[in-house]
Amino acid sequence: MSAIFYRGFAALLFFAAVVAGGVVALGADTSQRIVAVGDLHGDYNAYESIVIAAGLSDKRGHWKGGKTIFVQTGDIPDRGPDSRKIIEHLQKLQKNAAKKGGSVVTLVGNHEAMNMTGDLRYVHPGEYAAFSSRKSEKLRAQYFEENREATEKFYLENIDPTLSSEAIRQRFMETAPLGRIEHNAAWSAAGDIGAWVANNPAVAKIGDTLFVHGGLSIEYSIFTLDDINTRVAAALNARDESPESIIADPMGPLWYRGNVQRDSSAAIKDAIAAAADGGAVEFTTRPSMQKEIDTVLAAYSAARIVVGHTPSLEGIRTRLNGRVIQIDTGASAHYGGVASYLEIVGGDVIAHNVTTGDSRALSSAGEAGK
């Protein structure tokens, strides 16, 4: 109970639910339009400006993308207040797009996994408030009473052994804002949001393009896309945060940054050490970015990989002759970057900066315009 309590009561209503994470491999023809959007972090205004500018939604929130394939590469929640609003609109677009011959593919990011496993360090107060209702105060009091013994034990053993029962109750209420219990329930594997997230892929191949939140390391290129997605779904439903878990592994698809940055091998070494369960970690030199991308793209017969997770606040960037495209542009107010989207139609790859109104075709060796 202590670990669960400390991590924000995220175990509340986590019932057993296993949702198979099947492969997403859509055979888009050469004329089918693909639009990809990176990290949103709870900023509905930025999200809305992007989907309207990209012709995916009208101002009333209805799908207008026709047969477009819309890919959102994860990290919808945390750092901003509107995560629930964005998710509910994406769920609406998924249903509407299917009726028009289009599709909406939402990938799992590390912040989706964090919310499902109870790591609530980056949850914005507004995200709790979005779940608050007239019943919230009663629900919070009821939850405390039902868990009073375990809660008091945790506080006395881990916080302050001199606390009275009433003082513990007060501290609990202060650390559990209204809506938090409902938020945690919604993000559980049995909750509306958690079940949806666990059923989303971590990696998708559409036409000849791979899409993933963090990146694909050479270590994971030995697995099929179906294997990766199935393992991510299983780990989410099991709340598996162990160092070996695919959703916690710094080399895994939710966290890996090595496809877009190699400023220092020490950064990767530190990430591995931080995830290790005690003891020294032997570090082996990473393959070059060039070699890794060659291997990953060959493994999946892909021409390019599109990633989020690592911000490029000036706009969408390409690396390695356009074979790696970085689309997290810090669109949310928290980061203060630019709103943007990537468009792929046939052989044309275009970076759109919604904030400035600029668009630029990505050349084989160039970078997106600011």
Domains of the chain: 24-122+187-358 (3.60.21.10), 133-178 (no CATH)
Q: Grade residue 326 by pLDDT with cuts at 50, 70 and 90.
A: very high
173-177, 211-215, 227-231, 268-272 — which is least confidently predicted? Answer: 268-272
User: Are the CB atoms for 265 and 285 separated by under 8 Å?
Assistant: yes
Tell me the average pLDDT across 62-84. 98
User: Residue 35 has which token pair?
Assistant: 């639009």
Dihedral pair phi/psi, residue 340, rounded to 5°:
-160, 165
User: Are the CB atoms for 211 and 200 separated by under 8 Å?
Assistant: no
pLDDT at 367: 43
Report whether pLDDT(13) > 70: no
Nearest one of 257, 183, 172 to 213, comparing CA atoms:
257
pLDDT at 272: 52
User: Are the CB atoms for 73 and 211 separated by under 8 Å?
Assistant: yes
pLDDT at 294: 97
Report whether pLDDT(31) > 80: no
Nearest one of 166, 208, 173 to 301, comparing CA atoms:
208
Nearest one of 177, 176, 262 to 218, comparing CA atoms:
262
The counts of H helices and E strands in the chain are 13, 12
Q: Select the more confidently predicted residue: 23 or 251.
A: 251
User: Residue 311 has which token pair?
Assistant: 């911000």
pLDDT at 18: 27
Tell me the average pLDDT across 187-213. 98
User: Are the CB atoms for 349 and 341 separated by under 8 Å?
Assistant: no
Amino acid at 39: D
Dihedral pair phi/psi, residue 261, rounded to 5°:
-145, 135
**Scanning the structure block, which residue is given the tokens 């021409």?**
303
pLDDT tens digits along 203-256? 999 999 999 999 999 999 999 999 999 999 999 999 999 999 999 999 999 999
Q: What is the pTM of this model?
A: 0.87
**Scanning the structure block, which residue is given the tokens 């590469």?**
73
pLDDT at 264: 53
- Mean predicted lDDT score pLDDT of the chain: 88
Report whether pLDDT(270) > 80: no
Report whether pLDDT(108) > 80: yes
Tell me the average pLDDT across 140-169. 97
1-15, 43-57, 64-78, 109-123 — which is least confidently predicted? Answer: 1-15
Q: Please, what is the end-to-end C-alpha distance for the chain in angstroms? A: 49
Q: How far is CA 359 from CA 197, 353, 367, in A?
A: 31, 6, 12
